[in-house]
Amino acid sequence: MSSHVDFHRPALKSMLSTRSSIISDTYPYDVVAKRSLSLRPKTSVDLVSIPENAPATLSFHNINYTIGAKAQSAKRCCKNLNLPFFKAQEPKQILFDVSGKFMNGMNAILGPSGCGKSTLLDILADRKDPKGMSGLVLVDNQPRHPSFRYTVGYVIQEDICNGTLTVRENLSFSINLRMPKEVSISEKNDCVDRVISELGLEGCANTRVGTEYLRGISGGEKKRTCIGMELVLSPKILFLDEPTTGKTI
């Protein structure tokens, strides 16, 4: 299975490819945690994973995105005021008519640093202010539901797990905070155990993640913990912003 993205400007010369999952189960994402991608120098990767058994496709059409639009609006509002300290940011277009389609499995956006991969990922995950953006994002050929951002998982570049908690406690905190009360404690615990097993974290499940002053788990295990904090929610789509950068996982 392959995917294609049309980048019509040199500012975003990225290649979109699809990698098959090594586990066609509810959580196929552990391909990220068990295999590192062979990347070219100065090339980074963002991932979009859609479970093999989830009938979901994510397509995007003629996406354009410009930063600085808010500042320009503020400048127009304050044009009659003498504010010498106010300096509006000049608009800068980041994405130019980007189109593509993600199918079931592991999809990767490859490209050099600063080419707009994270911006595109944020737009697809509905994490960007629509001001300054144009284009269309569809899920199963339908416009995204207003609650779309709450039904998908998103792993940011930085590790955000709590260093004073164990791996298991971090996953339990995530599922208890974000899952509805109707889900029983036993079901939540079973889900946490399953994710720990699938991500190969059994050996450090009861070890503190660690901080600058507290020795803890390795960098790869910490990244897998962050991924697990999203997987416990059984997201229909999982977005990962450069999950392999600086890591051997």
Tens of pLDDT along 151-174?
889 998 888 899 999 999 999 999
Structure tokens at 133: 């953006």
Tell me the CA end-to-end span of the chain in Å, nearest whole number. 25
> Percent of the chain at pLDDT above 70?
69
Instruction: Kindly list the structural domains of the chain, giving each domain's residue range(s) and its CATH number in brackets, ordered by start.
Output: 5-68+87-240 (3.40.50)
pLDDT tier, 88 (very low <50, low <70, confident <90, very high otherwise): low
Between 214 and 16, name the one with better pLDDT: 214
At residue 159, the 3 state secondary structure works out as coil
Rg (CA), the chain: 20
Residue 192's nearest CA partner among 165, 218, 215, 219 is: 165
Rounded mean pLDDT, 53-65: 82
Tell me the whole-structure pTM to 2 decimals: 0.70
